[in-house]
Structure formats: C-alpha cells, structure tokens
Structure 1
Amino acid sequence: MSHHIKGQPRNQATLFPEALDDFVTDENPVRVIDAFVDSLDLASLGFEKVKTKATGRPCYHPSMMLKLYIYGYLNRIQSSRRLEKETHRNVELMWLLERLTPDFKTIADFRKDNSTGIKNTCRQFIQLCREMNMFTNVVVAIDGSKFKAVNNKQRTYTPKKTKDLIARFDASINHYLAILADKDKQEYSDEDVTVMHEKVAWMKNRLAELSDIETRVNEHPDKKISLTDPDSRLLKTSNMVRQVCYNVQSAVDSRHHLIISHEVTQSTDIGKLHLVASQVQEALGTTDITFIADKGYYSRADIKNVLDTGSEMLVPKTDTSGAAKAGIFNKNQFKYDKIKDEYICPAGNILPYRRNAMENGLKLRVYVNHIACRDCDIRTKCTRSRNEPRKMRRWEHENEIDAMHQRFKKAKDISLIRKQTVEHPFGTIKMWMGATHYLTKRLKNVSTETNLHILAYNLKRMMSIKGTIGLMKAIRQ
C-alpha cells in the first residue's frame, strides 16, 4: 500500500468557485497593484489614450496595461511575449486584467509609448510613501551601478581599436594580394584562387566600413561609439573590466531601504552628486537631509553645491594629484595654517599666499616661496621641475570641504551604513533582471525599464514593511 499523497483523477468533474475573485486571497499582492493603479490619475501623469475618440477600434485602458507591467516586473516577467503567455494561464493576471489578453506587440508598444507616465508613476509612489511618513530624519546613501546594455563589446569602437583593426585588415589584404601576384610560382588550385579573391573583396568592404566607423569615432564627443545601442557606453565596472553598459544612479533611504530617486546616466559617478541630491530634495520636499556617498563622487564643486542647499554631505576625501606616483611629496604632507593663511612644507619652510588663479572654472589661491624652494636641500623630493618652485593651490571654499571631511571621519561606521543601504537594492534588481539585464535599446527605453524595476522594488519593500492589507488601506485613504 502506497503512503504517498495522491492527486485526483484527471477525468473527474470539478466544481470550481463561482467567481474569479474567489481564487485571489485578500492578502494577495496582486490586490495592492490593483488598488495602487486605480488610485492614480493617469491622464495627469502623462499616459496616452486615457480618453479615446468615439470612433475607431477600441483600445485597452492604460490602467490595465500598467497593472500588467507592474505585476510582470514584480514577478520577474519583463518580456512582452512572456507576459502575453501569462495572461492566458495565470489566474492572478486573469483577475487583475478582468480576463483581458493583449498581444505582445500591444504590450511592448505601451512600454515604449508611455515612458513619461511610467516615470511619473514611480515618483507618485514615493509621494505616497512620503504621505505615510516613511522618510523622517532622512539619511540617504547615493551610489551608481553598471547595468549591461543590449550591445556586445565587439560592437563598440574606440580610436585605438579602429586603428588596430584597419592595420590588421590592410596587412591581410596585402598578404593575399602578394600570394595572388605570385600564384604562378606556387601550386594553388583554381578553387583556392577564387576563395582568396572572395576574401580580398570581403576585407576591402570591411575596410571601407571600418574607415567610416573611424571617422564617426573621432567625431564623437566621447571618442566611443556602440553600433547596436548607440546610447550605451564602454565603462569600467567594479572589478575594472570594461563593459558596454549604463550607469544607474540611485539614492536610497537608510531606514527602510526605499529608492527615493534614480537616474540612468552614460558616464562615471563623478559630477552626479548634486544632480541626484537635488532630485531627492525635490521628492521629499525638504533640504534637511544627510547624504552619504563613496569616494567616486568626490568633487569639490559638487559637494559645495549640495552644502549650499542646506543639506549635510559626507564623502571621503580623495587625492588625485598623482604626486605619490611621481615620487614627490603629496599635498597632504604640506600643513595648512588656517589662522595665518599659509602652508608649511615638509622642510619646515613657509609658503605664503601670493596670487589667485582659475583652474577648471574654480578660483584658486596660490601659495609659493621662490627663495626657500630654490635653496632647499630636499627640492628633488618636492618637485621635478628645475626652474619652477613647488606651488600649493587651494580652492577658495576649501575650508568647507575640510570641515566636511572632519565630520566624515568622526561619523562612526558611515561607510558600512552606505554599503548596507545602497548596494543591496542594486543586487536585488540585477537578480530580478537576469544575466542580460536590459531588454531594450536607447536611453529613453532603458530608463523606462529602470523605472518599472524600481517601482516594483519599492512596492515589494512597502508590502514587507506594511503588509499587503495595511498598504492597501493606506493607498485608499
């Protein structure tokens, strides 16, 4: 006698529930999606076809399509073809869409044509969280992460790569032409000669393509072009491997790990601090915020812009002078006397203030001592120049940066808090995306995908914090 659990015979008649609603429990997350989308004013958010004409073929209401996409991204189903299949067999989607089954082209077109509405929906959910008092005594961690683009590395070109490829094809063409010119002295069949002629013709065509690509690369501002997705860029990842990708900036609340703001960019983290911080301030309606970032964001002008808004900024100070590699004294080995406004060099000499200078749009104060530097015994350890003395340049607002650096050093475990806050959401979203990350091309479409992923992430976080029933009550208030 078998002790396994047995199923029912497949030919046995079954009495299903009379209503589709009986299949979906009261705590099912799909009910949260339904309540949230029904609470939105889709026309004001920028969705198309909310109001339709009386004539012509009817279309699906944007609310139904938005519910479908939120459900898909919440359950790691991002493909429009897979979503189409799910509408035919998934009981939760049958309930959510009221048994509507749009085809994959309609589903894909909705995401493509409603990028503004989807972006505003993502922002609207943050406003809902704000109304629920989720952001009090806010500490926000900012970081960027590279997400793979739909573009192979082989389809990305730089000046060096195109130059090397052109040289290699030139050498190959000359090699085959030399063989063909000397074919009478060697034993080659007619078939071999035909194959070589075809190879030379193909390589000449490829050489013309590479010449055109070289021109485009040299004319491009970044000196890099990607052929499959022109908006993607070849960037270094955390392990210093170059990858064709987008750099997604995010600002995450350290208390509840909600992503308050995000931005898809095409370059490194430097210069993005004020951009992301201003978006967070706008989303929360306050400047009473403490921002944390890693050394990749260290930019004096950027930090000053954030501090001027009234927010606190904590970024580790970095040295990019390259003095240590050159084998000379680093800037941090020169002590600055704030009261006397002068520097003291490692030899003990005083470098007084001499003049002002402009560098990269920043007003700098220059400190130098020509006589002391000329007669110094350790001059070779201070500068490689034979004629010019060692000069110290100090930004006119450097005191504010120094004060910020002192606050950073006093803040305990601040780097650990940043890692625990901002890196976890990136890992979660990348796991949902799968190995290939993005499915679409171009910056606009990639940004729409990112908005849907972050909306799904924030929605799941809130369901974990408040519970599905509690979140539905807050949405309907």
Structure 2
Amino acid sequence: MSKKVTFKTYSQNQLSLLPPSYDDLVAANHPVRVVNYIIDQLDITALEKEYKGGGSSSYHPRMLLKVLVYAYLRNVYSSRKIEQALQENIHFMWLSGQSKPDHGTINNFRGQRLRNQLKQIFTQVVLLLQEAGVLSIKDLYIDGTKIEANANRYTFVWAKSAKTSRERIQKQLKDIWAYVEKVYREEQKELNEPDFTAIDPEKIAATIDQINEALKDKPVDKEIKRKLDYGKKNWPKNLQKYKEQEEILGGRNSYSKTDPDATFMRMKEDHMGNGQLKPGYNLQASSNNQYITNYTLAQTTADTTTLKDHLNEHSNSYGESPDSVTADAGYGSEENYTYLEENEITGFVKYNYFHKEQHDKKRAENPFLPDNLFYNEEQDIYYCPIGQPMINIGIRQDTTKTGFEQTYVRYQAQNCAGCPLRGQCHKAKGNRIIERNYNLLRLKKQAKELLLSEEGVAKRKRRCWEIEAIFANIKQNMNFRRFMLRGLDKVSVETGLLALAHNLKKFSTSPTLAI
C-alpha cells in the first residue's frame, strides 16, 4: 500500500503581515557581514575628497567600496555582473542598502576614484586585522607571481627590434655616405662627414639633405637615389616611432600595444602549452599567517630587482620596516642583502646555489671552483689546484641595471702553459683569471648562517605554505588569472581589491572573529 505524499505549502501570492527584512535573510556569520563591519570602521575622508561636488547626488563611496570588495570576495569581477548582482542577489542588496548603481558608475569608481586611495584603505584594514591578533606586519614572507594583463597576446613591441631598426638605418646612411666619398675622391675634393653617432628624427633629415646637396648635379647610382628618396620619406618618422617606443619601454625588454604598461613574461599558465610569452604584471606580495600585508606590481620579469621597492612601500605604508623577511633565491643579490643590512632587517633570503652547497657533493669536492681554491689571507694570494699562486692584479668595478655598484678583485695565475689540468681548470686563452666579490661573499656567509639556524630552517619550511597558499587561492579558488583593467594604475587597484577580498574572506573564518 503506497503512502500519501505531502508537500510543503507553496503560494507565490501569499501576503505577509509585515514585509521581511533583508537583514533577517543574511546569516549572522556570513562573509558579507565581515566586509560590512570592517569597512564601516575605516576612515575614508581622503576618498570622499575625490568627489568635487555640485550637480546631482553621488552614490556613497563607502557603499561602492563595500560592494566592490564583496564582489571580488565572491569571484565577481565584471562591472556588468556586479550591476546584475545588485539587482538579484540578496547579500549585495543588503550590503548596498538596495542602491543600484549601474556598471558605468561601478567601473568609474574602481578605475578612477580608487586609483590614489585604495592603498591607504588596504593599510587600514591590515592594521585592524593586526589589532585583532590574526597577523603581524613585523615578520614577513615575500614572493612573486605573474598575472596576465588584459591585452592582446600577439601585438607587441620588443626593445631589441627597435634597437636593430635604428642600427640598420645608421648602417644604410654610412653606406650611402661611403658612395658620396667615393664620388668626391674621384674628383679629388674633400667634404665634411656628418655625425652618424646620434641618429634622431631631426638630424636624420638634415643628414639626408646634406647628402643630396653633395650629390647635386652629379650622376647618381639608381639604387643610391632610391635609398635616399625612401630615407627622406620614411626614416624621420620611423626614428620618431622608435624614440616613442623606447620612452614607453623605459628599460624593459618589451610591452604590449594594447596595454603599454604590461611586459611580456613567461608564465606557468600557458594556454598554448608551448611556453609562450604573454603580456602581464609581476605581483609581489608580503604575507603573515597567510594574510597579505603588502602588495606591489612590477613590470620586470625577475623578482631580484623588486625587493627594495616592495619593502620601501611597506615602510611608507606603516611608518616602519619589518623585523625579518623570508624569501627564496630569486631575491638573493648583493644589492638586496646590502639593503636588508642597512635597514637592520634580518633576512632569511636564499642565494643561488644555496641548496647545491648543502646537497651537491660533486660541487663541494670540485677543486677548480673559485670557492674551493686555497686562499692565503695574509699575502692576498689564491693557489690553483696544482699549487701555483694566483696574484692580485687589481679590481673591476661593475654597475647593475638598477645602478648598484659592485667591486670585484681579480687574481691571475702566472703560467698555465703546459699544465696537465688546464682542460679541467679553464677554457679561456692565456692564464686563468678569477674574480672575487668580497662584500657579496661576506653577505652570503651571513645569510647562510641565518638560513641554517634553527629559526631559519623553521622559516624556510613555513614559507612554502605561507605565501604560496595565497597565490594558489587567488588563481585557483578565486579563479583570477587575468586582470580586467588596463594600465598600471588601474591594475594596482584590482590587485588591492584582490588582496582585501583574500584577507576578509580568511578573516571571516577566523575563530577569533566576533562581530
């Protein structure tokens, strides 16, 4: 015998004596309440000053800020989808007080109003979280990850290409001038040679005019005439284009035509599966207890040159430097170690070959490596594997791309001819020369002692799950692998919203939370 099926009452037209409140529909421990609670405590006076006043009323910036942060927390990044959520999603409607700004207002607030204000808002949130006891801004773990820019992957400008094109124009000019000199030698006449070292749009036209004047009333080879006509028409504007490209590059190796602030980088997420370069930004982040404490964006592919700017940004935001920094070998340079020492920051920062020194026996036993050669400190002499002295022959100064000066002391063997070990020792012609950067050696020794200490081992283990977990959350859980906006300033705003969303989402699960 079948049992009677009973359904719950369903009536769309049922009237309520009292209309329901949105507040009753939002759970007490929902993340939207955390966003609302935290942002209500912020001082947004500077953000309010972004509004000039006059005209019709504006949506309140505090409301728009809450909506944007919560949208990023919910993996909603499109301004049109945020507009839709404000009309359909109870949590967005509760957070906005039923305000319904359109996508243009949302995008303008994100791209323009927040451009110069979001970093100080983010700093306030981090300090509130520190007061809550969930993080510290004194003990940092730093790493970087590359995120694709909102730019065409196949429209690019390469610094090498612009340089090559300038050099090609310079060579063609010299070839033409060689023809002019040949003509004048046959007539036994002399003429003043133009300056080919400074090739710019103004001088190139003057040089071509000078050549045409020199060849006036003379029979000219058709190929030379064709090159002169082409150069007169095209070279000045081409050089102007290369000059503008070099100004945009600003020392970078490439940029995208659709987002000139983006640099082409090799990324792990490769849609073609062949290691293709894509336009992107190098996101640098500091963390503590898996909270983001600071973020910066770099336009360089390597992490090495980003550390100083990143830590300076931290100091500017919080008014003090951190006590300690832990980072991988990508940050281990003489310049970075020097910066940490000068600012009295304890640096648990690896250097190249740190792991090989610990685990590679062949490297440790290789008698030909400069690090393994015997050094007589009193006489300032190294000895090669067969005991021949290598004497000090002076120093070499070098300057990095960032302007940091390095000093290398050079040592040379006296006679490598006929040495039975020469093939294993070195391949260069003449006697072997080694270079020693004693300041870097001193700094690496200090770093090694810190890294191998009990505290250093603990910090190296923690770094793996500290900062890497944040990047995994952003790219996998938050599904954010490509920026929505273009330009460094706007992309920085998006990064700040990501960082805020990550922190508040994590805080919403904190056992210490009490709203």
For normalisation by structure 2, the TM-score amounts to 0.71
- 1: CA distance, partners of 2:22 / 2:470: 35
Give SS of 2:117's match.
helix
Shift of the 223–145 alpha-carbon distance from structure 1 to 2, 3 Å rule, reads closer
8 Å Cα contact 1:159-1:214 kept in structure 2: no
Instruction: State yes or no: 1:307 paired with 2:341.
Output: yes
- 1: CA distance, partners of 2:241 / 2:42: 47
Q: Which residue of 2 aligns with 1:20?
A: 22
Q: Which residue of 2 aligns with 1:185?
A: none
Q: Which residue of 2 aligns with 1:261?
A: 294
- 2: CA distance, partners of 1:238 / 1:222: 21
Q: Which residue of 1 aligns with 2:397?
A: 358
- 2: CA distance, partners of 1:399 / 1:159: 36
Instruction: State yes or no: 1:97 paired with 2:96.
Output: yes
Deviation, structure 1 residue 47: 5.4
- 1: CA distance, partners of 2:376 / 2:285: 38
Match of 2:278 among 226, 240, 243: 243
Shift of the 420–384 alpha-carbon distance from structure 1 to 2, 3 Å rule, reads same
8 Å Cα contact 1:357-1:366 kept in structure 2: yes
Question: After the TM superposition, which residues 264-303 of structure 1 pair with which residues of structure 2 at under 5 Å, given as runs?
Answer: 264-267=297-300, 268-281=302-315, 283=317, 286-287=320-321, 289-303=323-337
Question: After the TM superposition, which residues 54-69 of structure 1 pair with which residues of structure 2 at under 5 Å, given as runs?
Answer: 55-69=54-68
Between 386-395 and 424-433, the greater mean CA deviation after superposition: 386-395
Question: After the TM superposition, which residues 63-142 of structure 1 pair with which residues of structure 2 at under 5 Å, given as runs?
Answer: 63-113=62-112, 114-135=114-135, 138-142=138-142
Q: Which residue of 1 aligns with 2:174?
A: none
Deviation, structure 1 residue 462: 1.8
Q: CA RMSD in A?
A: 3.5
Shift of the 308–436 alpha-carbon distance from structure 1 to 2, 3 Å rule, reads closer
Match of 1:422 among 441, 454, 467: 467
- 2: CA distance, partners of 1:81 / 1:459: 23
Question: After the TM superposition, which residues 127-276 of structure 1 pair with which residues of structure 2 at under 5 Å, given as runs?
Answer: 127-135=127-135, 138-158=138-158, 220=249, 221-238=251-268, 241-253=276-288, 256-267=289-300, 268-276=302-310
Deviation, structure 1 residue 73: 0.9
Paired AA for residue 230 in structure 1: P
- 2: CA distance, partners of 1:163 / 1:274: 29
Paired AA for residue 345 in structure 1: C
Between 397-406 and 15-24, the greater mean CA deviation after superposition: 15-24
Deviation, structure 1 residue 397: 5.1
Shift of the 436–28 alpha-carbon distance from structure 1 to 2, 3 Å rule, reads closer
For normalisation by structure 1, the TM-score amounts to 0.77
- 1: CA distance, partners of 2:328 / 2:48: 35
Give SS of 2:142's match.
strand
Paired AA for residue 331 in structure 1: P
Match of 1:396 among 422, 439, 458: 439
Deviation, structure 1 residue 344: 3.8
The alignment covers a number of residue pairs equal to: 417
Shift of the 32–47 alpha-carbon distance from structure 1 to 2, 3 Å rule, reads farther
Instruction: State yes or no: 1:463 paired with 2:497.
Output: no
Match of 1:43 among 38, 45, 51: 45
8 Å Cα contact 1:130-1:284 kept in structure 2: no
Q: Which residue of 2 aligns with 1:179?
A: none
- 2: CA distance, partners of 1:6 / 1:133: 49
Deviation, structure 1 residue 381: 3.1
Q: Which residue of 1 aligns with 2:208?
A: none
- 1: CA distance, partners of 2:99 / 2:369: 68
- 1: CA distance, partners of 2:503 / 2:328: 23
- 2: CA distance, partners of 1:353 / 1:2: 100
8 Å Cα contact 2:146-2:282 kept in structure 1: yes
Q: Which residue of 1 aligns with 2:272?
A: none
Identity of aligned residues (%): 24
